[in-house]
Structure 1
Amino acid sequence: MSVRVGVLGATGAVGQRLIQLLDPHPEFEIAALTASESSAGKTYREAAKWRVDAPIPTDVAEIEVGATKPEAVPDDVDLIFSSLPSSVGQQVEPEFCEAGYVVSSNSSNGRMDEDVPLTIPEVNADHVDLIEVQRDERGWDGALLKNPNCSTITMVPALEALDRAFDLTDVRVSTLQAVSGAGYSGVSSMEIIDNAIPHIGGEEQKMETESRKLLGSFDGAEVQLHDMDVAASCNRIPTLDGHLENVWADTAEDVSAEDAAEAMEAVTGVDLHSSPDQLIKVFEEPDRPQPRLDRNTEGGMGVAVGGFRETTDGVQFNCLAHNTMRGAAGASILNGELLNKRGYL
């Protein structure tokens, strides 16, 4: 039996990716779409300026878009996917949870709240049980689960492999992030063509804090942040999709470039529909991965790594992931699959 789902912020860039991935999904059935007040009452075809590189799903195109409030969503919707701007999500998402809805959210608000699980199922699926603490503390029948920032999710699977084998102590990362990460109108052509922008507001802090929560330990009551130090520098470059990151990872145990590559290549997916069999693809070529060539690794849900080089205290490598697939819409759907499997719906 399909799980009936709704999408908040369905007309935006991530919302459209959610629609693209959910329409053929074997577990989920789209039953409700919401957007701004100006879109409410229109069909999805009328409300969404469709920009995904695939046709708008015909069975979704005629769904009437509702306002983004709990009373506009049918009671029999089991799971909500949220791609709202964080300023809106901060107010609206708790209202849906109070009304009894379970929310899998890509929005940045609340990710570091002590009772909100922040998960990558292949990395820290056990953190989802923080929902029990959340429900006790907030008195919700619903629940709120977050996926991390698109830049954080690109490097953390590789870091988890290194930490498990060699004990991470310090991480430094410089990102080259695609323009789609800012949304369709987020960076003007006059800003980005023939240019690189060495600042993305709030991005460094997200990478530095979220990675420590994702790699932290959960004791059934709270998440203890990982004690590694993380420093990030984030840059916008004129690629469409795919965040490329240069990572320097220091470890307590000695690690060679070959050992690091083997540890990452051994990482497998989990038993969820959207999780690839091999999560991390290792390239031997020194000039890979590249955004145009490798962002669609494992249908956009894999992480590509390469360029391994030993350093004084650890290893340097490059990693890449599709920022709107693995880094946003696909991550939220994968978390929804985890919620379904764990019996939270």
Structure 2
Amino acid sequence: MTVRVGILGATGAVGQRFIKLLTNHDTFELAALTASESSVGKQYSNAAKWRINTPIPENIGSMTVKSTTPDAISDDIDLLFSSLPSDVAADVEPAFLEAGYVVSSNSSNDRMSADIPLTIPEINPGHLDLIEVQRDNRGWDGALVKNPNCSTITMVPTLAALDQFGLETVSVSTLQAVSGAGYSGVTSMEIIDNTIPYIGGEEPKMQQESRKLLGEFDGASVSLHEMDVAASCNRIPTLDGHLENVFAETTADVSAEEAIDAMESVPGADLPSSPDQLIHVFDDPSRPQPRLDRERGNGMQISAGGVTVTDAGLKYNCLAHNTIRGAAGASLLNGELLVDAGWV
């Protein structure tokens, strides 16, 4: 089966990642690209300042960029991927949903809305059934699913593995790559020889989204997980790959060996872009490292290491590629899940 897809916001950093991931995809055929009005009508190769380290695929470079409106998109598009800025997406996405489109969105708006699924396919695929509630509440024929923030998606798979021991409190300090801020998000004068100990809006996202992702879905709503989450988010001069230092307290005593076994036992999803093993745990306490490990599993695997037991509970590090697993790749996986579950 071939599923015709489009990208809303195709010229930005995440939109470019979508294009690379969709090239030669087994199921998805990229058939529509949209961007801001300044790019509309141009060939994609002229509209986008291409930042990926491989050339623009020839068939994509010659595509004409369309307006980000439902009437500009062919009605034979089966699925849309959204990489719009959240303030734009909040206005634009509902129009596509009311027009009947299914949208897998990386944009942060509506992630915590009660009737919007926030999903990681390997962790909480059942939350996708919130779409039924969403359609009843909102009266649209389309469907909207969100993936979590790039820093959240790095940590939550490891927490899901540990939840069997009874998660009580989680503290995390992040070391986040500059690509997470977009191409123009952090200037070289700000970040070279420096670390910025604040990323606006990032800490609440980690604290809230983690609890929704690990919450219980009863068929009508998601009850947030009861754990307490505290986050400190820091920007560092790394291009790609978010590294996070996590402390987790559990109700049950757990050894480092038990924690490692739990993490390594989390399977991938039976989807084309999911790695066979979701989490790889290093024996070497100096790993994972962004430059060495962000591309594991084609950038879709979570890496962990340094798992030890302390007086404050378990301590470990985790890493993911923030623009692949943490953004475009996460939406791509949700799109594959939508197809597999019959929503597309």
So what's the TM-score if we normalise by structure 1? Answer: 0.99
- Verify the 8 A CA contact 2:247 2:312 in the aligned structure 1: no
Equivalent in the alignment of 2:188: 189
Equivalent in the alignment of 2:271: 272
1:158-190 superposed Cα distances (whole Å, 9 cap, x missing partner): 000000x20100000000000000000100000
**Offset at 1:313?**
4.8
- Verify the 8 A CA contact 1:256 1:314 in the aligned structure 2: no
**Offset at 1:258?**
1.2
Equivalent in the alignment of 1:175: 174
Q: How is 1:49-60 mapped onto 2 (pairs within 5 angstroms)?
A: 49-60=49-60
1:58-103 superposed Cα distances (whole Å, 9 cap, x missing partner): 1111110011111111001000000000000000011100010000
Amino acid at match of 2:202: E
Residue 231, structure 1, aligned to residue 230, structure 2: yes
Equivalent in the alignment of 2:295: 296
Q: How is 1:281-320 mapped onto 2 (pairs within 5 angstroms)?
A: 281-320=280-319
Consecutive aligned runs of 4 or more in structure 1 exceeding 3 Å deviation: none
SS at match of 2:268: coil
SS at match of 1:123: coil
Amino acid at match of 2:157: P
Equivalent in the alignment of 2:97: 97
Equivalent in the alignment of 1:82: 82
SS at match of 1:201: coil
Equivalent in the alignment of 1:63: 63
**Offset at 1:330?**
0.3
CA distance in 1, matches of 2:100, 2:128: 17
Equivalent in the alignment of 2:115: 115
Equivalent in the alignment of 1:337: 336
- Verify the 8 A CA contact 1:251 1:313 in the aligned structure 2: no
Amino acid at match of 2:55: P
Equivalent in the alignment of 2:211: 212
**Offset at 1:132?**
0.5
1:81-133 superposed Cα distances (whole Å, 9 cap, x missing partner): 00000000000011100010000000000000000000000000000000000
Q: Which residues of structure 1 form unaligned runs of 5+?
A: none
- Verify the 8 A CA contact 2:300 2:325 in the aligned structure 1: yes
CA distance in 1, matches of 2:16, 2:91: 22
CA distance in 2, matches of 1:278, 1:342: 21
Equivalent in the alignment of 1:139: 139
- Verify the 8 A CA contact 2:197 2:234 in the aligned structure 1: yes
1:272-317 superposed Cα distances (whole Å, 9 cap, x missing partner): 0010001100001111000000001111000000011102252000
Equivalent in the alignment of 2:12: 12
CA distance in 2, matches of 1:268, 1:143: 27
Residue 35, structure 1, aligned to residue 35, structure 2: yes
SS at match of 2:174: strand
Amino acid at match of 1:194: D
So what's the TM-score if we normalise by structure 2? Answer: 0.99
Segment of structure 1 superposing worse, 9-18 or 253-262: 253-262
CA distance in 1, matches of 2:272, 2:313: 34
CA distance in 1, matches of 2:274, 2:80: 20
Q: How many residues align?
A: 344
